[in-house]
Amino acid sequence: MKQLLNFVPIFSFFIVYKFYNIFLASTILMILTISVCILFKVVFNNIDKMDYINCICVLFFGSLTLLFHNSNYIKWKVTIIYLFLFLSFLINHLLIKKPLIQQLLGKQIRLTDSSWNILNIIWSIFFLICAIINLYVMFYFSESMWVLFKVFGLTFLTLFFIFINIIYIYYLTSRNK
């Protein structure tokens, strides 16, 4: 339920963009992102770090978009978030013994240390690739194509990547039995 609520702001952004423009869509994105965070705090008594970071980025880049009437700022938000995730996973891998992916999933899944390290590196690379692809689409395609890519392309890419990871983890866990 909680994860589905995270999709409300972005799909609302898409719908408003299709009928109006990126500036009204950015305003709606900002309002709904704040609303979802407040709802998380009230209903679940918790706002995840990633939701909090996303909210700050949406407010910052959304405000810049509206203030300077330039849609490039909201487009940069996606790249910044993915670069942040890339660096978080990479720095965690290099400096901390327990990989970030293991910290997130280690209670539900049992894997060897080397498997966790591989998964952590793979996720780090995935986030870097998403940041680069977003930049490419941002600079070489129209605004409407970027919106489609952001809402559906990155969502599909992430879900597909998660599916591949599930298969990989299943393979690893069945091999270790």
pLDDT at 175: 75
Q: Which of 67, 126, 73, 131 is nearest to 101 (CA)?
A: 126
Neighbours of 157 (CB within 10 A): 15
What's the average model confidence in pLDDT over 51-77? Answer: 94
What's the average model confidence in pLDDT over 68-94? Answer: 93
pLDDT at 112: 84
pLDDT one-digit tens code per residue, 103-147: 888 788 888 888 889 999 999 999 999 999 999 999 999 999 999
Distance CA 51, CA 9 (A): 12
Distance CA 4, CA 124 (A): 24
Higher pLDDT, 82 or 50: 82
Q: Show the CA angle centred on residue 130, arms to residues 129 and 131, nearest 5°.
A: 90
Where do the domains of the chain lie?
1-70, 71-177
Distance CA 104, CA 174 (A): 21
Q: Which residues contact 87 (CB under 8 A, 6 or more apart)?
A: none
pLDDT one-digit tens code per residue, 82-111: 999 999 999 988 888 788 888 888 788 888
DSSP 153: I
pTM equals 0.88
pLDDT at 140: 97
What's the average model confidence in pLDDT over 36-60? Answer: 90
Q: Which of 82, 113, 76, 77 is nearest to 98 (CA)?
A: 113
* Residue 1 pLDDT exceeds 70: no
